[in-house]
Chain A
Amino acid sequence: AQRVTQPEKLLSVFKGAPVELKCNYSYSGSPELFWYVQYSRQRLQLLLRHISRESIKGFTADLNKGETSFHLKKPFAQEEDSAMYYCASRGSARQLTFGSGTQLTVLP
């Protein structure tokens, strides 16, 4: 069975500081990895997917198969980045398995 682990439930950083949200997955095949974000009073929405190799709102995430990780990074955090972030994986079963989420707070 797939498992996605986000070890930090809460993470606080100061504005302008780098931020890294950790995600580890367990899947024997080649999973697809995603980051979803839920801003206050908004719907949960896709932030980025590993297959696109894109940078969204300054965030990037690199799939490291050796470490089975897909950490989300941003060099300079902004207050508007404060939100709940979920890492998710999709295997052959095609449905998404989410981690338990990390609440990011960017302090002024």
Chain B
Amino acid sequence: DAGVIQSPRHEVTEMGQEVTLRCKPISGHNSLFWYRQTMMRGLELLIYFNNNVPIDDSGMPEDRFSAKMPNASFSTLKIQPSEPRDSAVYFCASSPGGGGTGELFFGEGSRLTVL
């Protein structure tokens, strides 16, 4: 298994543009998480899904952010419109779910720069 796959690895865009980040979790994992990493705040949980259903989106900064998981093998995080303060590394992670060991398997991250 190639692990959690994220795309794009790097994205540079201008303020006001729409940004879509993609994630393919590990096959068989029931839980999927989106995190944002910044120097100031470290890793912040944005939203997590269990069996494709959003369970907790309280970490989503504002209405400009939205996330979907149309099926067990794909999720998107969308920012519209993007702002410079959204610049960060966005991580997707998956886990087997049902509680489990608590181990998350992370993707390599998508580094977003909004000019």
A positions within 8 Å CB-CB of B? 6, 32, 34, 36, 43-46, 49, 86, 90, 93-101
Contacts and interface: CB of A to CB of B under 8 A. Distances in A.
Interface of B: 3, 33, 35, 40-45, 48, 55-56, 91, 93, 99, 101-104, 106-108
Contacts, number: 46
A95 B56 contact: yes
A95 B42 contact: no
A84 to B, nearest CB: 9
A43 B103 contact: no
A34 B102 contact: yes
A96 B42 contact: no
The B contact surface, by secondary structure, is strand
Main secondary structure of the interface of A (DSSP, over half): strand
Given A34-B102, A90-B102, 17 more contacts: A44-B91, A44-B106, A45-B106, A46-B104, A49-B101, A86-B42, A94-B99, A95-B45, A96-B45, A96-B104, A98-B44, A99-B42, A100-B40, A100-B41, A100-B43, A101-B42, A101-B43
Given A43-B107, A44-B91, A93-B56, A32 B42 contact: no
A49 B100 CA distance: 13
A95 B49 CA distance: 10
